[in-house]
Amino acid sequence: MSVIKKVNDYVENIIESSVVELFSDRFARYSKYIIQERALPDARDGLKPVQRRILYAMQQLGMFHNKPYKKSARIAGEVMGKYHPHGDSSIYEAMVRLSQDFKMRALLIDMHGNNGSIDGDSAAAMRYTEARLSKAAEALLADIEKRTVPFVPNFDDEELEPTVLPAKFPNLLVNGATGISAGYATKIPPHNFTEVVDATIAYLDNDQITFKEITKYIKGPDFPTGGIVQGKEGILQALETGAGKVMIRAKADIEEISKSQDCIVITEIPYEVNKADLVKAIDVLRIDKKIDDILEVRDESDQQGLRIAIDLKKGADAQLMLNLLYKSTDLQVSYNYNMVAILNHRPVLVGVLPILKAYVDHQKDVITNRSNYELEKAQKRQHIVDGLIKMVSILDGVIKAIRDSQNKQNAKESIMELFGFTDMQAEAIVTLQLYRLSNTDILALEQESDSLGDKIKELDHILSSEHALRRVIKRELIDISKVLGDPRRTQIEEEIETIKIDEKDLISDEKVMIGITKDGYVKRASSRSYQATLSAGLKQDDVLIFEKEVNTLDTLLLFTNLGNYIFLPVYKIDEQKWKDLGVYINNITPIAHDERLIDVLLVNSFKDNDYVLLATKQGMMKQSKLSDFEVTRYYKPMKCMKLSGYDELVSIDYGQKDDIISISKNGYVLRYKTDDLPLYGLQAGGVKGMNIGSQDELVSSLYVRDRDDFIMLTSRGHVIKDIVEELPVYSRNRRGILVIEHLKSNPHECVDAARLSKAQQKENVEVLIVTKNYALKTTVSELKYSGNKFGKKMYDDAELGNGYMIKIEDALEDVDLPKKEKKVINKPKDTIKVVDLLKEEEIMTKDHKKIHLNRFDLFDDNDE
């Protein structure tokens, strides 16, 4: 408090104010300043204050388009010292932009030297470059000396500067504007000079013109860099309201290098896109292999114009590559109109009609002010000329009166008193040079008087007639359009083309090796890496359950025990070496901690009108369309079957056939017609396909033909071969018949099964037998056995672990081979009819007891 008291003793006037009020007041004033005096253009001349001050200062220095260049540093210094109280760098940057032919549609400054480039290179320092006004800038400044626009004192009250330029053309629409201020921003594209002038003339002819009629003249933006603008609707909306969106697309041609190789050539790029960054972005796509078909990117731009050459690989689809580049790079960008300008000292979002009205109203003021100035000047001159003509008729008396005078003032008073001249006429007479007194000069004076009379009449007519005033504006617009107008550079297209690219179209068609392990590791390797590697890289105790050469355009469906599947396009798998472990599935798609892979399905096309068979451990089954498995977003596992309780998905099969067989762990097999199993969607849980006992579980369900065999893998490493045709056909939801005899100790439990067709046997295809920690590769011929009801022992389960999976490779031509005719053997009447007997799962004995039938009840023990 003592410090405050001491301060109060020395301060006479203390103004108390809250911080909120102070900040609010100061920021409001600051915002008003940067809105009106810095960042936003005036609707009348289309210039920001710094641009206006630069042009006016150059005009005052006499730096016209036909005069020598002067140093940019001198101009910046002149502007900074007299008109613009800011740093020279901001002034020079504004100068540079006004001189860049890739930013301005009508250049306002003609700069000599390095003024930057479309590659984003900055201009040379102002001490190196030189500049002068362009013809367009002179048109903006024309008649400024004729009191056409208001002037105000500069920042130190030592100079006067214009608040707006006369502007002989609508610069705001021709050159556009960009800027950001407090709470406001502006983004107005440049337009074609001739079109804007034609629209202005149409407005002059009819100030009640409709927006629809104006759009007949202004087609849309016309960028200095050319390009293609798409979206007529967005253009119309922007021209009407001031806000709208269009797409700007580079102009490209496809040139043929050879019969099978093309080159994309870019000759025009979107407005305000950095060419060097664009070329780099395209090359990065090539380096990162996001677009494999790009061979090389070259910037071939020179004095002849812009040119970016993109060489494609042989056989590449050039149009597809171009569309991809449009979608992935700045070869196509959006442009959002935000036509904010200062109108009546306020920032306003305006369409084209209010801008034209503001410009025409401004031109009326300019022409009116100029006409008043010229009228006053003409009237003064005519008054003087009339006095000179009068003087010639009394020349001798005038000369005598002047000679008799003591000085100039006395001479003026004498001739005014003697001959009735006005002060202005007398001043002209006494300052007249003697050679003007010749006889021929009187003729010139009389001609000048007549000319001045005509001019005064014309100016009076302009000032008194609105129609005449509009005619003058129109004539001057036509004249300036002939000098500065040029053809349109930007092409306008009606609709915005929606680019839809199937990612598969970008993938080169090639063969690769895919390996998927039991523990969920996925790897993709080139055929060369596969052939050069003796053994695949695997984690300890892990084995491959899928190892196949596939196409990069194929898709893998990885099914899990929790009723999910993972949609995995081959091209999405990162390429590695075959000796690498691969990528864990959880790093590709997150799965639950207790989720594991059970099978893999390779799909070439989802357009195949085929079905997938799904079965759970508790015997729930269904068929689903293969096409239902195709998805576009695959960032997580997809549901393929609804499970209940502790049930798990254990089996999938593909390729619908007439029959289905289901095999349980305890060796029961049920065969029924495929038509009995309903078709469900992926979210459904299915129906009971096989009746599973309390101590049993389903291990596999297969599509089969009646002439097929099927192979069962047991937990003890045996393979048991059986015949589909010998299985009775039941309805679904039955237990089936027993095909693997039960043993009290160390029983053979079925762990998996596979269909074996005649074609597979004929081609002797490869067989993969997987244990808990080992994979055994063999062929179909090695599965043959005789005389053992428990099949053939394929490996020592004590060393390699329990059985896990059996897979038989598909035949090249998997067709049902014709049946061979069997010899008919006459059997005794008391021979048991096996097939008829097996039609019943349970039979009644003589003592009226029900027993469950199995195949082994039909044979004696010595026939095992």
Strand partners, 221: 191
Domain identity same for 371 and 281: no
Domain identity same for 310 and 375: no
pLDDT tens digits, one per residue of 259-315: 889 999 999 999 999 999 999 999 999 998 888 889 999 999 998 899 999 999 988
Instruction: Name residue, tokens 């004249």.
Output: 479
467 lies in some domain: yes
Instruction: Name residue, tokens 């007194």.
Output: 437
Domain identity same for 60 and 158: yes
Helix (H, G, I), strand (E, B) or coil at 485: coil
Q: Tokens standing for 46?
A: 């289309």
CATH number at residue 318: 3.30.1360.40
| Confidence at residue 366, expressed as pLDDT on a 0 to 100 scale | 96
Cα separation of 147 and 326, whole Å? Answer: 52
Is 230 in contact with 497 (CB distance < 8 Å)?
yes
91 lies in some domain: yes
| Domain stops at, among 433, 449, 484 | 484
| Domain stops at, among 417, 450, 484 | 484
Domain identity same for 324 and 373: no
| Confidence at residue 841, expressed as pLDDT on a 0 to 100 scale | 52
The amino acid occupying position 453 is G
Query: What is the CB neighbour count within 10 angstroms for residue 789?
Result: 14
pLDDT tens digits, one per residue of 789-831: 888 888 887 677 778 889 999 888 776 555 544 443 343 333 3
Domain identity same for 162 and 52: yes
Domain identity same for 313 and 394: no
Domain identity same for 294 and 402: no
Q: Tokens standing for 92?
A: 């020079």
| Domain stops at, among 151, 166, 181 | 166
Instruction: Name residue, tokens 């939801």.
Output: 733
678 lies in some domain: no
Largest interatomic CA distance in the chain: 173
| Confidence at residue 816, expressed as pLDDT on a 0 to 100 scale | 56
Domain identity same for 326 and 369: no
13 lies in some domain: no
Q: What's the predicted TM-score (pTM) here?
A: 0.73
| Confidence at residue 439, expressed as pLDDT on a 0 to 100 scale | 60
65 lies in some domain: yes
Domain identity same for 156 and 59: yes
Is 638 in contact with 565 (CB distance < 8 Å)?
yes
689 lies in some domain: no
C-alpha closest to that of 56 among 158, 175, 205, 159: 159
Cα separation of 784 and 127, whole Å? Answer: 95
385: left (phi over 0), alpha (psi -120 to 50) or beta: alpha
- Annotation says 128 is catalytic: yes
| Confidence at residue 744, expressed as pLDDT on a 0 to 100 scale | 83
Cβ neighbours of residue 691 closer than 8 Å, sequence gap 6 or more: 619, 670, 733, 734, 735
109 lies in some domain: yes
E-only strand ranges, 33-98: 70-71
CATH number at residue 143: 3.90.199.10
Domain count, the chain: 4
Helix (H, G, I), strand (E, B) or coil at 512: strand
| Confidence at residue 840, expressed as pLDDT on a 0 to 100 scale | 46
Residues of the chain with pLDDT under 50: 1, 820-840, 845-846, 858-864
Cα separation of 63 and 779, whole Å? Answer: 93
CATH number at residue 440: 1.10.268.10
> Cα dihedral angle (421, 422, 428, 431), rounded to 10 degrees?
80
Which of the residues 128, 571, 634, 672 is marked catalytic? 128
638 lies in some domain: no
pLDDT tens digits, one per residue of 22-45: 888 888 888 888 888 889 999 999
Helix (H, G, I), strand (E, B) or coil at 479: helix
Domain identity same for 143 and 101: yes
Domain identity same for 397 and 304: no
| Confidence at residue 859, expressed as pLDDT on a 0 to 100 scale | 39
| Confidence at residue 771, expressed as pLDDT on a 0 to 100 scale | 87
**Half-sphere exposure at residue 540, Cβ-oriented, CA atoms within 13 angstroms:** 0
Which residue segment(s) compose the domain that 845 sits in? Answer: 834-863
Domain identity same for 465 and 389: yes
State how beta strands 668-673 and 729-730 pair: parallel
| Confidence at residue 451, expressed as pLDDT on a 0 to 100 scale | 92
E-only strand ranges, 167-242: 177-180, 185-188, 228-230
